[in-house]
Amino acid sequence: MLNIKSIKLLTKAELSLWFYSFIFLCLGFSPVILDFIWGNHDWLPILNGNALHSGLIEGRITQYIFLCLFLDGKILPIINTTLGFLVYTLSIVILNTRFFEFKTSQLKSTIIIISIATLSYINEIIYFQFIVFSQLFWPLIISLSLIFSKKATCSHFAIFTLISTILLYLGIAGYPASANLFATGTILYLLHSYDNNNSFTKTLKKLIPFAISFIIAFICLYFSYQYLKSQNLMKDMYNNNISNPIQILLKLPNILLLSIKSLLQPQPFFSITYKIISFFVILIYSITYLTKSQNKINFIVRLFFIILTFLAIKFSAILTEELETSYFPKYDPIAFMVRTDFFAIPCFLMFSFFFIMQASYKILQNITIISSFLLFFINLNQNLDYSKTQILGFTSETNLLNRITNRIESFPKYKLYNYYTVVQTGDIPLRSRYYQSKPFEKYGYYNKDVALVRHWLPHEFYNFYTPVPFVLASSAINSDDLTPDMISFLATKVETWPSPNSIYVNDKYAIVALSEEGRRMLKEQFNSLIRNH
């Protein structure tokens, strides 16, 4: 029988680590926690909450389970994020104490755990309020899955493997990139085992429960997708295309390079200093690990494990088929996605820190602790910089939205209680105006570039603050609805915001040309209408 007592509750030391990591994580993001702000997908969920099935359309089967279970699907200020932080920091703690089982002094553990828990990878996760709670839950679920797989190597193989599989399925069905944590954790666990026993066979044996959980969970996910598609509940989208095995094999060398590059590439809210320190820690760990080799074969196996780790942290990039024609590869390439790194890099860095702390060189330990402390301070800076950027950007974009709404409402032909089809072209993202870019930085699509409004869904934001909703929906202009007045506006007058000719309102349509790109799109739309007319 399974001995329930073998699953211990948290010790005092773990509670202390949990407490401090939670407090410091909250501190770094306190401005965004206290100022209730949200991302561009959140307008409707803020009003209506999320239903259990809301994520099915993109294959996120279990996305809202915990949100519905704990918060009745609602998005609540403070609660959503802090509860999420609470479970996320718990996952960091148990990953160290229960999975890797590194032992060092409480003070040193606290410093390292705080520096890991406050890593800025979380910033893209908390941009969207509608998924923050779920996304922060997955690291805990995956950590538990890893712990049960590990337990299965010692006892109750079947039952622990089954629990691990269920947990893993729960995680990847909610957000497939959470598999990055499982892959990274598994490889690091094997690598650590090999370091202790130096036997490849023994190490491989330990892989079995992990591999079984992994394979079964992914097979289940595959069949779940097939079923959902057959029922027309799920669509093929950019984020659920999977590469075939040959494609996967071919892109491994490139992913390995990208993985190393991404560890060094400064990104918004990940300064070059942060990248250098974190890479330095990983490098020291890798060298320490390799220097423990006893012979050539041992060295090769160790090198193999290190390479595997670098691949594992980009597991989602290996699996996903990134379409060259898609919008995202240019602005938000998968190998540099902060929100997928969130699931792997904290785990990798934490392992690196603790591994070095186990090394016998005192100087390395001291360097590690200093690096850890520095990293914590940099994280705090980056997280508060992020918070400032979000708050000022949100304020300026909502102010702009109010001004556009005022302009529409004060248009001579605007009628109260009439519903309009809004054609808004282009958008004006403003967060980046409050962020001071650092040298060599790239990307930052969600954490600073994307606009607060999705111009193709104007009913979400125009109806949000107005006392009388006026937006019915968004659609292209119907050629039958073209009037001479509208034709004159589209053909000759249309300009970009804030020009008086950036807005046109008649009985049926409200047309808004926000940016120059938007104006061009509107013209193209008009030309095509005229051709068809």
The answer to whether residue 25 forms part of the interface with other proteins (CB under 8 A) is: no
Stretch that binds other proteins, among 82-90, 222-230, 290-298, 429-437 (CB under 8 A): 429-437
The answer to whether residue 436 forms part of the interface with other proteins (CB under 8 A) is: yes
For 121, what's the count of Cα atoms within 13 Å in the CB-facing half-sphere?
27
Question: Rounded to whole angstroms, how far apart are CA atoms 360 and 174?
Answer: 41
Q: Are 496 and 518 in contact (CB under 8 A)?
A: yes
With 0-12 CB in 10 A as exposed, 13-18 as middle and 19+ as buried, what is 196? exposed
- For residues 323 to 362, the per-residue mask of contacts with other proteins, x marking binding by CB under 8 A and - elsewhere, is ----------------------------------------
The answer to whether residue 106 forms part of the interface with other proteins (CB under 8 A) is: no
Q: Mind giving me the DSSP string for 88-135? A: HHHHHHHIIIIII-----HHHHHHHHHHHHT-GGGGTTTT-HHHHHHH
For residue 128, give the nearest of 186, 12, 43, 200 by alpha carbon: 43
Question: Given the complex with other proteins, which of 96 and 502 has the nearer CB atom?
Answer: 502
**Number of residues located near other proteins, criterion CB under 8 A:** 31
Stretch that binds other proteins, among 30-38, 311-319, 357-365, 456-464 (CB under 8 A): 30-38
Instruction: Quote the least distance from Cβ 281 to other proteins, whole Å.
Output: 20
Q: Which of 142, 430, 452, 511 binds other proteins (CB under 8 A)?
A: 430
Q: Which of 10, 16, 31, 86 binds other proteins (CB under 8 A)?
A: 31
Q: Are 419 and 456 in contact (CB under 8 A)?
A: no
Instruction: Quote the least distance from Cβ 26 to other proteins, whole Å.
Output: 10
Q: Is the bond leading into 458 cis (omega within 30 degrees of zero)?
A: no
Instruction: Quote the least distance from Cβ 450 to other proteins, whole Å.
Output: 15
Question: Given the complex with other proteins, which of 42 and 397 has the nearer CB atom?
Answer: 397
Instruction: Quote the least distance from Cβ 270 to other proteins, whole Å.
Output: 13
Question: Given the complex with other proteins, which of 254 and 410 has the nearer CB atom?
Answer: 410
Strand, helix or coil for residue 512: strand
Question: Given the complex with other proteins, which of 217 and 428 has the nearer CB atom?
Answer: 428
Question: Rounded to whole angstroms, how far apart are CA atoms 136 and 142?
Answer: 11
- For residues 389 to 428, the per-residue mask of contacts with other proteins, x marking binding by CB under 8 A and - elsewhere, is --xx--xx--xx--x--xx--------------------x
Q: Which of 16, 30, 153, 198 binds other proteins (CB under 8 A)?
A: 30
- For residues 248 to 287, the per-residue mask of contacts with other proteins, x marking binding by CB under 8 A and - elsewhere, is -----------------------x----------------
- Enclosing H/E stretch for 422: strand 420-425
Strand, helix or coil for residue 31: helix
Q: Which of 34, 79, 86, 290 binds other proteins (CB under 8 A)?
A: 34
Q: Are 200 and 303 in contact (CB under 8 A)?
A: no
* Residues paired with residue 421 on neighbouring β-strands, in sequence order: 473, 509
**Alpha helix positions (H), 231-344:** 245-264, 272-291, 296-312, 315-319, 328-331, 338-341
Q: Which of 156, 229, 251, 388 binds other proteins (CB under 8 A)?
A: 388
Task: Give Cβ neighbours of residue 517 (< 8 Å, ≥ 6 apart).
Answer: 425, 426
Crossing angle of helices 362-409/272-291, nearest 10°?
A: 150
Instruction: Quote the least distance from Cβ 126 to other proteins, whole Å.
Output: 16
Binding positions for other proteins, 122-151, rule CB under 8 A:
none
Question: Given the complex with other proteins, which of 132 and 503 has the nearer CB atom?
Answer: 503
Q: Are 422 and 510 in contact (CB under 8 A)?
A: yes
Token pair, residue 239, equals 């984020």
For residue 26, give the nearest of 395, 267, 379 by alpha carbon: 379
Q: Which of 7, 13, 23, 27 binds other proteins (CB under 8 A)?
A: 27
Instruction: Quote the least distance from Cβ 384 to other proteins, whole Å.
Output: 4
Question: Given the complex with other proteins, which of 304 and 377 has the nearer CB atom?
Answer: 377
CA angle 430, 435, 438 (to 5 degrees): 140
The answer to whether residue 493 forms part of the interface with other proteins (CB under 8 A) is: no
Q: Which of 265, 381, 506, 525 binds other proteins (CB under 8 A)?
A: 381
The answer to whether residue 499 forms part of the interface with other proteins (CB under 8 A) is: yes
Summarize as ranges the residues that interact with other proteins (CB under 8 A). 27, 30-31, 34, 271, 377, 380-381, 384-385, 387-388, 391-392, 395-396, 399-400, 403, 406-407, 428, 430, 433-434, 436, 496-500
